[in-house]
Amino acid sequence: MAIERVSRSWVIPANEYRRERWRNQLGWTREIHASHLPGPAPDSPWDWRLSIAEIERDSEFSAFPGIDRELVLLSGNGVRLRFDDGEAHELHPPHERLRFAGERKVVGELLDGPTHDFNLMWRRDRVSATLWHRPLVGPMVLFADPGTTWVVYLIAGQAQFADESGLPAMSASDSAIFAAGDERLRHVIDGGGEALLIRIEPVTATG
């Protein structure tokens, strides 16, 4: 008998993010949310995870085998990602970003002082993730197809929900998560500022 998947939407205020050490103990991160896909889960703590890395000094990043990740500069004057194969990328203000494999050895080198960086990670054999940086000018409609999850991270500004969800208003650095079950999920966000939009969906047998 199939288990009904129930849709759920919620807002996570920035003051509820959990601050913890990096896996390699060389820095700090504030975890926004970590989640498994519905159904049987592998022997791992999560299938996808959102956090904000606090880079206060030049540091080697933690290794995450089997994980893909995308790093977005949120604040600060920039960071250089130097990989052990000689490749290097600089993330400059306002919000440059880079996607890379979690197995790659990389050192974050500060360009001019500490940075905060949005960190999206997902288990590539289980999840597909896409991230966009978008302005928020007036109402924006988001549709989450069955089985998918959308995340809105508000970089700056204010936003409220112009629908019947009853969700609280969002301030800068808050996050909203829309997890669609068996039915398509619709939300209308109205406000001003800028946001990161993320779509999480399960990897199909052919994908």
What average pLDDT score do residues 44-58 get?
93
What is the model's pLDDT at position 7?
Answer: 87
What is the model's pLDDT at position 40?
Answer: 57
β-strand partners of 133: 196
pLDDT in tens, 137-172: 999 999 999 999 999 999 999 999 999 889 999 999
pLDDT band at 1 (very low <50, low <70, confident <90, very high): very low
Name the CA radius of gyration of the chain, rounded.
17
pTM, 2 dp: 0.93
**Nearest alpha carbon to residue 150 among 164, 140, 160:** 140
**Separation of alpha carbons 7 and 61, rounded Å:** 35
Q: Domain locations in the chain?
A: 17-123, 127-202
pLDDT in tens, 100-136: 999 999 999 999 999 999 999 999 999 999 999 999 9
What average pLDDT score do residues 72-83 get?
98
pLDDT in tens, 4-50: 678 899 999 999 999 999 888 888 999 999 998 866 556 678 999 99
**Separation of alpha carbons 196 and 144, rounded Å:** 16
Question: Tokens 């050192």 label which residue?
Answer: 107
What is the model's pLDDT at position 206?
Answer: 43
CATH of domain 17-123: 2.60.120.10
The reply to whether 17-123 and 127-202 are identical in fold is yes
How does DSSP assign 171-193, residue by residue? ETT-EEEEE--SS-EEEEEEEEE
What is the model's pLDDT at position 146?
Answer: 94
CATH among 3.20.20.80, 2.30.30.40, 2.60.120.10, 3.30.2130.30 for 127-202 = 2.60.120.10
